[in-house]
A and B are shown apart, each in its own frame.
Chain A
Amino acid sequence: MANIKELKKKIKSTKGTFKITSAMKLVSAAKLNRAQIAIQNSRPYAKELEETIKTVSALVQNYSHEFLVESDSRKSALLVISSNKGLCGGYNSQLAKKVREFTANSDEELEFYFVGKKVKDLVKNEVTITKEYTFEKQEPSYNEMVDLSSELAEKFKSGEIGRIYVAYNIFESAIAFEPCVKQVLPMALAEKEKEELRDKFPFDFKYEPAPKVLLDSLIPQTYISSIYTSLLDAIAAEHGSRMSSMDSAASNCKELIDNLTIKMNKLRQAAITTELIEVVSGAESLKG
Chain B
Amino acid sequence: MNNFTVDILTPSAIIAKDIPAEALLVPTERGQINILKDHTHIITKLSTGMMSVFGGADDPDRFFSITTGICKVLDNKIMVLANVAEEAGEVSKERAEKALANSESKLKSSDGLSDTQIEKYRRKAERAKLRIQLSEFVRNRNI
Residues of A that sit less than 8 Å from B by CB: 38, 41-42, 44-46, 48-49, 52, 56, 142, 203-209, 213-214, 217-218, 225, 228
Task: Say whether chain A's binding surface is mostly helix, strand, loop, or mixed.
Answer: helix
Q: Which bracket fits the contact residues of B?
A: 20 to 34
Bound CA span A34–B40, Å: 39
Bound CA span A205–B29, Å: 17
Q: B28: which A residues are within 8 A, CB to CB? A: 208
Stretch of B41-49, B100-108, B129-137 lying at the A interface: B41-49
CB pair A49–B81 under 8 Å, yes or no, is yes
CB pair A208–B14 under 8 Å, yes or no, is no
CB pair B41–A206 under 8 Å, yes or no, is yes
| 13 sampled A-B residue pairs with Cβ under 8 A | A42-B12, A44-B9, A45-B10, A46-B11, A48-B9, A52-B79, A204-B41, A205-B42, A207-B44, A208-B42, A209-B29, A213-B45, A214-B70
Bound CA span A38–B43, Å: 27
CB pair A41–B42 under 8 Å, yes or no, is no
Q: Do A41 and B14 form a contact, CB below 8 Å, given A203-B41, A207-B44?
A: yes
> C-beta contact mask, B13-42 vs A, less than 8 Å → 1, else 0?
110000000000000111000000000111
Q: Of all chain B residues, which has the CB nearest A206? A: B42
Nearest chain A CB to B25 CB, angstrom units: 15
- 4 A-B pairs besides A205-B41, A206-B40, A213-B45 with CB distance below 8 A are A41-B14, A45-B11, A206-B41, A207-B42
Bound CA span A44–B16, Å: 12
Closest 10 CB pairs of A and B: A208-B44, A45-B9, A206-B42, A41-B13, A205-B41, A205-B43, A45-B11, A44-B9, A42-B11, A41-B14
Bound CA span A208–B30, Å: 8
Q: A217: which B residues are within 8 A, CB to CB? A: 45
Q: B29: which A residues are within 8 A, CB to CB? A: 208-209
Q: B62: which A residues are within 8 A, CB to CB? A: none
CB of B72 within 8 A of chain A? yes
Q: Of all chain B residues, which has the CB nearest A225? A: B11
Q: Of all chain A residues, which has the CB nearest B42? A: A206
Bound CA span A48–B79, Å: 8
CB pair B72–A52 under 8 Å, yes or no, is yes
Q: B74: which A residues are within 8 A, CB to CB? A: 205
Q: Of all chain A residues, which has the CB nearest B17? A: A44
Q: Of all chain B residues, which has the CB nearest A211? A: B43
Q: A205: which B residues are within 8 A, CB to CB? A: 41-43, 72, 74
CB pair A209–B43 under 8 Å, yes or no, is no
Q: B10: which A residues are within 8 A, CB to CB? A: 45
Q: A45: which B residues are within 8 A, CB to CB? A: 9-11, 14, 81
Bound CA span A38–B81, Å: 16
CB pair B43–A52 under 8 Å, yes or no, is yes
Q: A225: which B residues are within 8 A, CB to CB? A: 11
CB pair A218–B70 under 8 Å, yes or no, is yes
Bound CA span A162–B141, Å: 56
Q: Of all chain A residues, which has the CB nearest B68? A: A217
Q: B40: which A residues are within 8 A, CB to CB? A: 206
Partner of B30, one of A142, A203, A209: A209
Q: A41: which B residues are within 8 A, CB to CB? A: 12-14
